Amino acid sequence: MGRPFLPGSPGHILYNFLLGTGLVVCAPVWIPWVLLSRKRRANLPDRIGLRGVPPQTPADGRRTVWVHAVSVGETLAAVPLLRLLRRRVPDARLLVSSVTLTGRETAVKSLSGVADEGFFFPFDLPGLCGRFLDRMRPDVVVIVETEIWPNFIAACARRGVPVVIVNGRLSKRSFAGYMRFRWFFAPILRTLRAISAQTAEDAERFAALGAPREIVTVGGNLKFDVSPPESGASPLSALLLKEKGAGAAWIVAGSTHDGEEAQLLRAFLSAREGNPSLRLLLAPRHPERFDAVEALVRREGVSVVRRTAIPEGAGHLTETVLLLDTVGELSGAYAAADLAFVGGSLVPKGGHNVLEPSWHGVPTIVGPHMENFREISDAFLAGNALIRVAGEEELADRLTRFASDPRLFRETGLRAKELLETFRGASEASTDAVLSALPGREARR
């Protein structure tokens, strides 16, 4: 199998020589790059161990699982895994590390009551990685997707801490890049205990890169394995359903960004000429834009009401547009929608997750920019379970067709819901991979 990537191996020595040389030579570039960015500057003390490191793990006999999720996407993917780990090993200490500020914020919001501690991942410096490991004393380290940090993995190997990759993914482009340095990465992969890849293609790429085939399995994509929304109507969905009972058809535009609302509004008004029963709910992604979006709608001469201005028990709405100016009610809006639009996709923001409207069986439209959710959107498009438009003109055409006969779109929503059910199970496979490396007594099932 070849020599593993351990401290003192040729690959490890070369890596640290190049790393140290680069830090010194490029200091005039990287120091301003870090210090002039508020986001990069904010977590610098945490990542070098000066602040925010959790207190040393007590030797109380509890097993410790360290899950590393670099940013928002990986953190959201880790949620079903961590919830299942909490159920299967209820006495375990679950730690979650992040690299980005948004990833850390997402962990705080999504994993409250599930994870025991959260902190920022250390920079890949040998002494620093060892210090973090010695303080946390994990029984297993879980890396979500593909974060291969040589010094961190070498420090784990020195301490006998098993490392597991879950939701493992190697795109065609990244695989080609890794293969050019296979001599370097293959020994690192040989130190891993298990790799749960998203697809069979990903599994083959890990094996080709040098991972032992016996440790590589296909576990599926954790991003698909979200929990379905809780049953029962929310106050907002009840309000929208009441309007539907009076003949309204709701288009819910969620997580919209600057530049999208104007396009949506024009397309909506064009479609509404043929069907005055159409209503539009706008849910801007960022709360600080609520006032600007309301002003935009009013400038177009369209009646609008804010969610917070509707008293409890109000009668039927008379306004054409409902502005959702609250946080946490979008799922309830999707539950009562006849058609959904997921924002960040008409403008180049990378899109947002289409799974929430899909759980409700709501036909969903996205624009051309779905880079941040490419795997999910590609799978739904291939299954004819998602509608993608190239821009405002095509969006107006689809909304006009919807206005003429909403039933034409219902099959798309039903296919999305059925497809989503087939993707479930990744959290079970990933949890099994983690527990296979976790010493101690049997976990609950």
> Could you give the CA distance from residue 287 to residue 193 in angstroms, rounded to a whole number?
44
Q: Is 74 a catalytic site residue?
A: yes
Using alpha carbons, list the distances in angstroms from residue 41 to 52, 67, 291. 14, 24, 30
- Which candidate, 438, 439, 432, 440, places its Cα nearest to that of 84? 432
Instruction: Tell me the longest C-alpha to C-alpha distance in the chain.
Output: 74
Q: Alpha-carbon distance 95 to 78, whole Å? A: 12
Strand stretches in 227-330, DSSP E: 249-256, 278-284, 304-306, 321-323
User: What does the alpha-carbon distance between residue 225 and residue 222 come to, in Å, rounded to a whole number?
Assistant: 5
Residue entry with tokens 């997707």: 145
Q: Catalytic residue, from 74, 145, 261, 294: name it.
A: 74
- Give the CA dihedral 204, 205, 208, 214, nearest 10 degrees: -50
What are the backbone dihedrals phi and psi of residue 74, each rounded to the nearest 5 degrees, phi first? -70, -35
Going by the DSSP 8-state scheme, the letter that residue 222 receives in this structure is: G
Residue positions annotated with a catalytic role: 74
